[in-house]
Amino acid sequence: MKRILAILSLSLLVTVFAGQRPSYALEKVFVIGDSWAYALADPLNNQMANHGHANYHVYNFALAGTTADAYANNVGGALDLTLTLLVAMPTIEVVFISLGGNDLWTMYPSLGDGVFSEIEADLRYLVDRILAARPDVQILFAGYDVLKFDKSDFCLLFAYNCFGRIFPWEVTPLFIEVGNAQQRIAHDYSSVTYLNLWGTGQGTPGSPDITKWSPSSYVASGDEDCLHLSDYGYNKFALQIYCNYFAPRFGESCSGSSWGAASVAEAGLRYSISAHSEGMNILAILIIPLGAFFMLKVTRKGQ
Going from the C-alpha of 82 to that of each of 8, 109, 276, 302, the distances in angstroms are 11, 29, 38, 21
Q: Which stretch of DSSP H or E encloses residue 237?
A: helix 231-241
Going from the C-alpha of 282 to that of each of 134, 166, 173, the distances in angstroms are 53, 12, 22
Chain segment 95-148, per-residue pLDDT in tens:
999 999 999 999 999 999 999 999 999 999 999 999 999 999 999 999 999 999
> 149 or 266, which is more confident?
149
CA distance 280 to 284: 5
Examine the pLDDT at 169 and tell me if it is beyond 50. Answer: yes
CA distance 153 to 122: 33
CA distance 212 to 234: 19
Chain segment 60-104, per-residue pLDDT in tens:
999 999 999 999 999 999 999 999 999 999 999 999 999 999 999
Examine the pLDDT at 6 and tell me if it is beyond 90. Answer: no
Q: What is the pLDDT of residue 270?
A: 38
**67: number of Cβ within 10 Å:** 26
- Map residue 41 onto helix, strand or coil: helix
Distance from the first to the final alpha carbon of the chain: 12
Chain segment 104-115, per-residue pLDDT in tens:
999 999 999 999
Q: What is the pLDDT of residue 256?
A: 61
Bridge partners for 98 per DSSP: 33
Examine the pLDDT at 10 and tell me if it is beyond 70. Answer: no
Q: What is the pLDDT of residue 295?
A: 39
> 40 or 272, which is more confident?
40
Q: What is the pLDDT of residue 253?
A: 87
Domains of the chain (ranges; CATH) run 24-299 (3.40.50.1110)
Chain segment 11-29, per-residue pLDDT in tens:
444 334 333 344 555 899 9
- Map residue 219 onto helix, strand or coil: strand
To the nearest whole number, what is the mean pLDDT of the chain? 83
Q: What is the pLDDT of residue 22?
A: 47
CB burial of 23-62 (b: ≥16 within 10 Å; e: otherwise) equals ebeebbbbbbbbbbbbbbbbbbbbbbeebebeebbbbbbb
Give percent of the chain with pLDDT exceeding 90: 74
CA distance 78 to 1: 10
Q: What is the pLDDT of residue 64?
A: 92
Average pLDDT over residues 237-241: 97
**264: number of Cβ within 10 Å:** 23
